[in-house]
Structure 1
Amino acid sequence: MLSRVADSLYWMSRYLERSENTVRQLDVTLSLLLDTSSTTAETRWLRLLAALGNPPGLTWTGDPDELTRTLIFDPVQPSSVTSCINLARENARQVREEISSEQWQRVNRLYHHIRSPQAQNQFRSNMNDFLATIIDGIHLFKGVSDTTMIHGEGWQFIRLGRYLERAYATATLLEVYQESLLNLPEREHSGYQYLELVGLLRCCTSFEAYCQVYTADLTPDRILEFLVLNRDFPHALRYSIDGVRQSLDAIQRTGGRRPPEELLATAGRLHSMLRYTTIEEILDGSPGRFLHSIREQCLRIHELIYRYYIHYSIQSALAV
């Protein structure tokens, strides 16, 4: 596969995953603001920005409407939902011959919807419905990708981008929450903290899934264990890194090029860490440092993917 094709498929998927993550976290933050508690609106908005990686150029100015509009509609802000969908569509356009008509129609429809006057009207009249419409559009794209595209090398690059972006975003979210909420002694938890923990699970679409495993007994330790170490839930870190590892293995088989040992070792080390570490070991150490290490390893995997599959030299390609 040409490196430019792999690059576009990879980033198309990452940008859509990033859009979904932003919309979901924004939806949860707006819902929590309806609850009267000791937590100020400023604290919640600052936490949202931190969970999104503190995007450059985005600051809390005291105006929630302005920040919400910027996060969704600002075409100049690289981290906005509109910018990410624009970039996803542009990447899809560049590889139009590699994706199905249904994929193109879905991403193109999402692109035109968020730029339309109807989107602005829906945003003003019913924010929750508007955000749900965006998430539905992204889910439809993922669904048609899995059902209309050959599950070959290109599809694996789409999965690789999706799971690497998801793992990094989930690790960032948990690192932010563990400082302010997951770190609290058990005696300090109250009804307010319960709502915040529900919000954390909703940020990962995991409230119902968590309850199926642990019932509705929400404790920080169990939430951390579920979102980090569960092997069956799609938004858990272990599941996402398993997906990254599987996609790298599949790309090697279908593309005929063996990844460098450094990439295999980095992905394998992260995979093994999440597979064999227990929640007791994480809690006995530093959960924040553990989560930060996962983020760093995700960035390293991204760098190595780019070095080997996107920006590789002709000499290195011929040497394989």
Structure 2
Amino acid sequence: MLSRIADSLFWIGRYIERADGTARMVDVLRLSLIEDPGQDVNYTSWMLLGGIMGLDDVSPDVTYADVASRLVFDADNPSAISGSWLAARENARRARETLSTELWEVINTSWHRWNGLGAQTATQQHLGWVTERAALVAGIADSTMSHDEAWDFLSLGRSLERADMTARIVATGAIDGGPNWGVVLASCGAQQAMLRTMRGVITDRTAAAFLSLDRRFPRSVLASLREAEDRLTTLSPDTDRVGFSDEARRILGQTRTQLEYADPDDVLDDLPAMMGLVQESVTQASDAIGARYFMSGPVQEWTGEIL
């Protein structure tokens, strides 16, 4: 497969999942404000933009409208929902010959329909629509693409981004003054799954453990890291007798085992730091994947005729 096609497929998976994860994080804030109208809107909005998303130049008096402007409707920001949809569509256009017709159509249609929703305020209509369309894209990709290298790269990007975004969502529940864990679970679509699994009353610690350490819930941090590892193993089967030549797989494996084999109480007691470690590992692994699979030679430029 051409590296440029693999690159586009990888980023289609990341951008679609980023739109989904960003919608879920903004929905955490929206639901939190509805549940507790008396909370400090400015502080909670500031923590989401500055502390969780890591955006610069965030003023302390930021409002929910500012969050919507920067994380939902800014088409120039690839971390915003509009920017993610646009970037996913452009990458899909470049990899058009590799995608199934159904997958291209749903991505292209989603971008145009998103623009038709309007850009006034981030409502349930906007945020719920994004999560539904992201699920539709994932389902069509899984059911209409051959599960070959093309699908592996798309799924790899999706899994990496999901690990990162779920770690950010979990971090919102761990901060002082942040939303309660019931809201965090609902935003991840995990409330019913957790109730069926735990068969008991939801506590802060069980909710945090479920979203970060559960092996069978597909949106958990641990499950997402394991899926990314599996895709890397398929793309480059392990033939090394000592160590790993695949740097991305080594990074993700270290982080995954650090979460999986640690005492769960230790992970939960230091949850913000552990979720920060996951985000850092995803960034490093993404860079390593780019260096291994997507690097191309320098672009040749015409410099004029030498006489």
Does the pair score TM above 0.5?
Answer: yes
Q: Deviations over 1:67-87 (max 9, x none)?
A: 324432222233221111000
Pair 1:262-2:247 in alignment: yes
TM-aligned CA distance change 1:303 to 1:28, over 3 Å? same
Query: Contact conserved, 1:50 with 1:176, CA < 8 A, in 2?
Result: no
Query: Contact conserved, 1:60 with 1:67, CA < 8 A, in 2?
Result: no
> Counterpart of 1:33 in 2: which secondary structure?
helix
TM-aligned CA distance change 1:268 to 1:148, over 3 Å? same
Partner of 1:46: 46
The amino acid that maps onto 1:270 is T
Pair 1:180-2:165 in alignment: no
Kindly report which structure 2 residues correspond to 1:210-225, keeping only aligned pairs within 5 A, or say none: 210-215=194-199, 217-225=201-209
Query: Contact conserved, 2:181 with 2:208, CA < 8 A, in 1?
Result: no
Partner of 2:266: 281
Query: Contact conserved, 1:14 with 1:161, CA < 8 A, in 2?
Result: yes
Aligned equivalents of 1:161, 1:235: Cα separation in 2: 14
**Richer in helix (by share):** 1
Runs of 4+ aligned residues of structure 1 deviating over 6 Å after TM superposition are: none
Aligned equivalents of 2:296, 2:223: Cα separation in 1: 29
Pair 1:227-2:211 in alignment: yes
Aligned equivalents of 1:299, 1:265: Cα separation in 2: 13
Aligned equivalents of 2:6, 2:59: Cα separation in 1: 34
Query: Contact conserved, 2:45 with 2:63, CA < 8 A, in 1?
Result: no
Q: CA RMSD in A?
A: 2.7
TM-aligned CA distance change 1:137 to 1:262, over 3 Å? closer
Query: Contact conserved, 1:73 with 1:82, CA < 8 A, in 2?
Result: yes
Pair 1:81-2:66 in alignment: no
Query: Contact conserved, 2:33 with 2:39, CA < 8 A, in 1?
Result: no
Kindly report which structure 2 residues correspond to 1:233-244, keeping only aligned pairs within 5 A, or say none: 233-244=217-228
Kindly report which structure 2 residues correspond to 1:138-157, keeping only aligned pairs within 5 A, or say none: 138-157=134-153
The amino acid that maps onto 2:148 is G
Identity among equivalent pairs (%): 27
Aligned equivalents of 1:134, 1:176: Cα separation in 2: 20
Q: Deviations over 1:151-210 (max 9, x none)?
A: 0001011111011011112222323432326xxxxxxxxxxx9x7211111232211111
Instruction: Specify every segment of 5 or more residues in structure 2 that has no aligned partner in the other structure, as ranges.
Output: 238-243, 299-307
TM-aligned CA distance change 1:167 to 1:217, over 3 Å? same
Partner of 2:185: 201
Aligned equivalents of 1:62, 1:266: Cα separation in 2: 36
Aligned equivalents of 1:303, 1:263: Cα separation in 2: 8
Aligned equivalents of 2:259, 2:296: Cα separation in 1: 30
Query: Contact conserved, 2:49 with 2:67, CA < 8 A, in 1?
Result: no
Query: Contact conserved, 1:260 with 1:308, CA < 8 A, in 2?
Result: no
Question: What is the TM-score of this pair, normalised by structure 1?
Answer: 0.83
The amino acid that maps onto 1:151 is H
The amino acid that maps onto 1:274 is L
Instruction: Specify every segment of 5 or more residues in structure 1 that has no aligned partner in the other structure, as ranges.
Output: 182-192, 254-258, 315-320
Aligned equivalents of 1:131, 1:37: Cα separation in 2: 20
Question: What is the TM-score of this pair, normalised by structure 2?
Answer: 0.86
Query: Contact conserved, 1:74 with 1:83, CA < 8 A, in 2?
Result: yes
